[in-house]
Structure 1
């Protein structure tokens, strides 16, 4: 990728792996709290999280990526993000194992998503950055949720 400039991203961990989403998509980072359960949703739909009186649809990002679920710990966080889908922004809460930091990546250092060797579909990956301590996977949140899924999530939440 030969795009000039920098990308600021919030990095977070799922298991031993490090992921990131652009800081421009992140509205808030919340401590873990139990969600209000919504019946009949997909297994990764945890329910609604109260954000100053508004219900935010909250999903387990581990399950959505096909990783095994884990019990929440004191480090578990909910990343409240704006997901651009079908020309509109939808607010979702992503449950992650831990939030690490805000990092700045040189766009020229962001490599393409590998087609093999990862446990989730490569269309979910916007790019990969090699750092001395390992790789950071940039998540394409718009690809993780198809329009049909987003509509189903919001129908379940309503």
Structure 2
């Protein structure tokens, strides 16, 4: 494969589905530890994860996509993602059931996401890649957590709480 014609991704699983995000936005992959709670956030906002002294807003991707909640297991991971939002960088932690691999595939293999047949909005998908036994769903994290929403969560996580 020619590097200019391939996309390197981190594949992860949630339930029986396989998702992927570009390696370029993944800063690191952490073993799961419960985030420190922050009050008054949406149900999918779990709190803050300490990443080398920085409090990173951590979100439950299962809940955000409408999957039923699941208990954390030994395979549960937190993807630390650096997203470009309106000219600045935003760091988010995203909890996933398990990380499967880092892999590459040809950009020509990326198909348009289906409009129906998935349990969540296809607006959250950049595309799908066929593979033996199913599909890999390329997730548009920026679309799932809109710039305003993500920035608001990051700011509310940093705001002092009243007593």
| Fold-level similarity (TM above 0.5) | yes
Partner of 2:128, secondary structure, is strand
Partner of 2:62: 62
What are the equivalent positions in structure 2 for 1:6-155 lying under 5 Å apart? 6-155=6-155
Q: CA deviation at 1:145?
A: 1.2
Gaps of 5+ in 2: 159-163
Deviation track 1:4-34 (CA, whole Å, cap 9, x = no partner) reads 7000000000000000000010000000001
Q: CA deviation at 1:85?
A: 1.7
Deviation track 1:88-107 (CA, whole Å, cap 9, x = no partner) reads 22100000000000111110
Moved more, 148-157 or 62-71: 148-157
State which structure, 1 or 2, has the greater radius of gyration over its C-alpha atoms. Answer: 2
Structure 1 stretches of 4+ moved >4 Å: none
| Separation (CA, whole Å) in 1 of partners of 2:70 and 2:120 | 17
Q: CA deviation at 1:68?
A: 0.6
Q: How many residues align?
A: 155
TM-score, with length taken from structure 1: 0.95
Moved more, 83-92 or 29-38: 83-92
| Separation (CA, whole Å) in 2 of partners of 1:100 and 1:62 | 16
| Separation (CA, whole Å) in 1 of partners of 2:107 and 2:121 | 22
Q: CA deviation at 1:133?
A: 2.4
CA root-mean-square deviation? 1.0
Q: Does the CA-based 8 Å contact 2:56-2:154 persist in structure 1?
A: no
Q: Does the CA-based 8 Å contact 2:35-2:48 persist in structure 1?
A: yes
| Separation (CA, whole Å) in 2 of partners of 1:76 and 1:106 | 28
Partner of 1:58, secondary structure, is strand
Q: CA deviation at 1:120?
A: 1.0
